[in-house]
Structure 1
């Protein structure tokens, strides 16, 4: 489980960085749903780090609100897994 979470978070920060790079070059972008989806799959720490480190999506309030919801869902699911 720890290995999976580590891989997901490294992957997620890389995806956020790639999307920011694409945005700067005015090229095709990764959809917000994909960014939120990989965050939901265990990459919330990587997503938060990517948002802060790359200054990506932090000024878009609708994305930040959705991301907070994803964090809450992940925390609830993590709690449920630990309780088993």
Structure 2
């Protein structure tokens, strides 16, 4: 299994509360980043933190299920600039 396959497999062991916390913690992290509050951290520390956030972050399948379950709150997916085609 290569690194990309390992990344795809990680989200399979996430439970709902971990996914919720990942979204909330990622938002908080991004707000700190944009505010310039993370400048004291080196790239390796930031990379390790981001990897932790992504471990349970919703993937495209999760978002598809949410969009079906809550169509008034979540819309359909679109192909973003980093999506594989």
Q: TM-score range by the shorter chain?
A: 0.3 to 0.5
TM-score (norm 1): 0.38
**Structure label with greater radius of gyration:** 2
